[in-house]
């Protein structure tokens, strides 16, 4: 067994390593107590499973306790999908239009004014920005679990405002409040997931943020389809009642999952960090939490030297910051606000398919494509998926725009426009949507992680706000009235996103966060990240990196420190 010193104390001094080794042996021998009696069963899984399952990276790295923790964190994102798709689909309901729209005597129909659509889908980002800031502060000071608990309580309050709304102003207020919760969620959930999972499955785990969002969209779109025929306000209030379920579940269960070991170590709570690692990953009898604890310690050596915002644009950090900002710009600039906030209304205006059937179909396709994307990213890599997604978006968006140039499109042409709209959204969900969270989580230096996330999120918010605000004016008369020709605008930006991914986004699949830090510090060129081999230096950080990535049956081959 490797003897790893967790403190550089001189000989003769009281070393915390001995205490932690004793704690580790105690935790290991009494794990049935510390993990509620489940470890004995879990420990048998690696040996009882067939050989082909033991070779699978998910079975090998996802212990039952870790899987449950990742699942609960991902569950929190359901409410993002509920709000994102629930509001968008409700806008197409007759009951919603009667309550919050205007009557047009010429057409004898109700319609929601363009200016209100613009405000409803853009002002919410005021709350989003506030939530990002508050969530990052709570998460850094009081822990990831406390942040999840607080945002869940907030979500139940904002849901009450939305469900009881009778005026446009109350809906706006409720959505701004609800997006405060969503901002807190974005600042907490992806980093939390990245900090508790090992590198070989980090891409999949962080990608579940987007998958959960889309699955929430599938559920609420299905509910909206069922209630769309109701003539009363229950048509849109019933779907919004789902806004209570997820935060209530998360608030009730979050204290049963372990805290982030990285955060605990930052608080000098080494014993708790060791216990958290053992609880999350210790069902494999060959796992040694002391090794991971030392890896975390090495990665956080500079954490006590808190960086300033100006440091984000100095030295090698400038490159990381600009890539994170670019990722968050292109995820919104290539059509996400158009398909997410206005897709159902746009399809309703085209008139070739029931818009509520479309919303279910589109959300199911999006979920499937996202699941495929996050399942292969740790094998294929981030860059190929990003570039493939950009190419597909260019094809579908220019198809939509090109057919839209016809003065009187036929039914078949209208159906192609609808299909291209759905496929452009699916291409985004396969690539840029999940990869953005993964890449932005992997990029930052440890001491600047929170600040990098905040700056990148500001770019996301500003871009989303601008496109959400102006898209209704681009689509509708008497303004630009582009309709499907708006695809030319988003398609041109998708071309730019391809070149950005090719020239700027490094390949980080399978790399530990510590390896990524080292490669950025060495200014490795973008297109060499994936093939670069770190030098092996006995007794330093590279040894610890090899420990993390070595299979359990090769632990004895690692040089002793």
Cα–Cα distances in Å, from 257 out to 180, 203, 533?
24, 20, 36
**Nearest by Cα to 441 from 187, 111, 102:** 187
pLDDT reading at 20 higher than 70: no
pLDDT reading at 24 higher than 50: no
Q: Where are the alpha helices (DSSP H) in 197-288?
A: 202-227, 234-240, 245-253, 261-266, 270-281
pLDDT reading at 544 higher than 50: no
Residue 257 · residue 188 · CB < 8 Å: no
Other CB atoms within 10 Å distance of the CB of residue 476: 21
> How confident is the model over 172-226, as pLDDT tens digits?
999 999 999 999 998 898 889 888 888 777 778 877 878 888 899 999 999 999 9
Q: How far apart are the first and last CA of the chain?
A: 11
CATH superfamily of 314-527: MFS general substrate transporter like domains (1.20.1250.20)
Residue 352 · residue 346 · CB < 8 Å: no
DSSP-derived secondary structure letter, 257: S
Other CB atoms within 10 Å distance of the CB of residue 26: 12
DSSP-derived secondary structure letter, 7: S
Tokens for 420? 């291209």
| DSSP character string of 288-339 | -HHHHHHHHHHHTTTTTSPPPGGGGGSHHHHHHHHHHHHHHHHHHHTSHHHH
Cα–Cα distances in Å, from 137 out to 134, 152, 241, 451, 452?
5, 16, 29, 11, 14
**How long, in residues, is the chain?**
561
Q: What span, in angstroms and rounded, lies between the C-alpha atoms of 363 and 433? A: 14
Residue 515 · residue 545 · CB < 8 Å: yes
Cα pseudo-dihedral 519, 524, 528, 534, rounded to 10: -40
Q: What span, in angstroms and rounded, lies between the C-alpha atoms of 110 and 438? A: 42
- 493, HSE (Cβ side, Cα atoms, 13 Å): 18
> How confident is the model over 263-307, as pLDDT tens digits?
998 888 988 988 888 888 766 666 677 877 877 787 676 555 567
Tokens for 237? 């209030």
pLDDT score for 159: 94
Could you give phi then psi for residue 102, rounded to 5 degrees? -115, 150
Does a cis peptide bond (omega within 30 degrees of 0) precede residue 478? yes
Residue 230 · residue 405 · CB < 8 Å: no
Residue 30, classed as helix, strand or coil, is coil
Residue 381 · residue 530 · CB < 8 Å: yes
pLDDT score for 292: 75
pLDDT score for 282: 66
DSSP-derived secondary structure letter, 229: T
Residues 6+ apart with CB under 8 A from 499: none
Other CB atoms within 10 Å distance of the CB of residue 321: 24
DSSP-derived secondary structure letter, 484: G
Q: What span, in angstroms and rounded, lies between the C-alpha atoms of 25 and 10? A: 24
The whole-number average pLDDT for the span 45-66 is 61
Give the domain ranges of the chain: 59-257, 314-527
Which of 38-52, 301-315, 471-485 is predicted least confidently?
A: 38-52
> How confident is the model over 392-443, as pLDDT tens digits?
999 999 999 999 998 889 999 999 999 999 999 999 999 999 899 889 888 8
CATH class of 59-257: mainly alpha
Confidence of residue 262 (pLDDT cuts 50, 70, 90): confident
Other CB atoms within 10 Å distance of the CB of residue 73: 27
> How confident is the model over 350-364, as pLDDT tens digits?
988 899 999 999 999
Tokens for 396? 């579908």
Tokens for 177? 């409040």
- Radius of gyration of the chain from its Cα atoms, rounded to whole angstroms: 25
| DSSP character string of 57-119 | HHHHH--HHHHHHHHHHHHTTHHHHHHHHHHHHHTT-HHHHHHHSEEETTTTEEE--HHHHHH
DSSP-derived secondary structure letter, 540: S
**Fold matches, 59-257 and 314-527:** yes
Cα pseudo-dihedral 55, 57, 58, 63, rounded to 10: 80
Which of 68-82, 130-144, 276-290, 522-536 is predicted least confidently?
A: 276-290
């Amino acid at each position: 067994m490797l003897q790893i010193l967790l403190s550089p104390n001189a000989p003769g001094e009281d070393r915390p390593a001995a205490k932690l080794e004793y704690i580790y042996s105690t935790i290991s021998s009494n794990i049935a107590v510390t993990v509620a009696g489940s470890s004995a069963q879990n420990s048998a899984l690696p040996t009882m499973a067939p050989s082909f399952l033991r070779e699978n990276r998910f079975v090998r790295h996802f212990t039952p306790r870790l899987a449950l923790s990742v699942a609960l964190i991902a569950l929190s994102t359901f409410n993002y999908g509920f709000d994102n798709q629930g509001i968008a689909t409700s806008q197409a309901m007759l009951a919603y239009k009667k309550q919050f729209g205007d009557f047009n005597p010429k057409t004898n129909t109700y319609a929601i004014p363009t200016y209100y659509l613009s405000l409803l889908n853009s002002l919410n980002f005021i709350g989003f920005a506030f939530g990002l800031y508050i969530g990052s502060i709570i998460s850094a000071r009081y822990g990831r679990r406390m942040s999840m608990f607080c945002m869940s309580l907030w979500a139940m309050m904002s849901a009450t405002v939305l469900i009881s709304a009778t005026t446009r102003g109350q809906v706006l207020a409720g959505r701004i409040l609800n997006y405060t919760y969503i901002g807190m969620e974005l600042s907490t959930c992806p980093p939390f997931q990245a900090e508790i999972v090992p590198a070989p499955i980090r891409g999949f785990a962080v990608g579940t943020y987007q998958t959960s969002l889309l699955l929430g969209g599938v559920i609420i779109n299905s509910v909206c389809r069922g209630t769309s025929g109701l003539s009363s306000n229950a048509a849109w209030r019933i779907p919004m009642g789902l806004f209570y379920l997820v935060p209530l579940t998360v608030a009730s269960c979050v204290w049963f999952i372990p805290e982030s070991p990285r955060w605990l170590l930052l608080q000098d709570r080494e014993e708790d960090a060791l216990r958290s690692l053992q609880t999350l990953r210790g069902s494999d009898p060959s796992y040694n939490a002391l090794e991971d604890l030392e890896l975390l310690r090495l990665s956080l050596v500079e954490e006590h030297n808190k960086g300033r915002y100006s440091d984000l644009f100095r030295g090698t950090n400038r490159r990381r910051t600009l890539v994170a900002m670019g990722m968050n710009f292109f995820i919104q600039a290539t059509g996400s606000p158009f398909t997410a906030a206005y897709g159902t209304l746009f399809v309703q205006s085209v008139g070739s398919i029931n818009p509520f059937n479309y919303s279910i179909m589109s959300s199911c396709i999006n979920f499937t494509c996202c699941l495929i994307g996050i399942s292969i990213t740790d094998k294929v890599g981030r860059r190929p998926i990003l570039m493939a997604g950009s190419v597909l978006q260019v094809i579908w968006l220019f198809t939509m725009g090109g057919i839209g140039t016809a003065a009187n499109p036929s039914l078949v042409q209208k159906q192609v426009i609808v299909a291209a709209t759905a496929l452009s959204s699916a291409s985004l969900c396969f690539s840029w949507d999940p990869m953005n969270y993964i890449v932005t989580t992997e990029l930052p230096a440890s001491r600047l992680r929170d600040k990098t996330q905040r700056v990148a999120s500001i770019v996301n918010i500003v871009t989303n706000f601008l496109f959400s605000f102006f898209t209704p004016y681009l689509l509708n008369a008497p303004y630009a009235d582009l309709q499907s020709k708006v695809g030319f605008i988003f398609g041109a930006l998708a071309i730019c996103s391809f070149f950005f991914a090719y020239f700027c986004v490094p390949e980080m699949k399978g790399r530990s966060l510590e390896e990524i830090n080292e490669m950025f510090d060495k200014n490795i060129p973008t297109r060499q990240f994936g093939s670069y081999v770190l030098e092996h230096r006995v007794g330093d950080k590279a040894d610890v990196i090899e420990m993390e990535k070595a299979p359990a049956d090769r632990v004895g081959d690692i040089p002793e420190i």
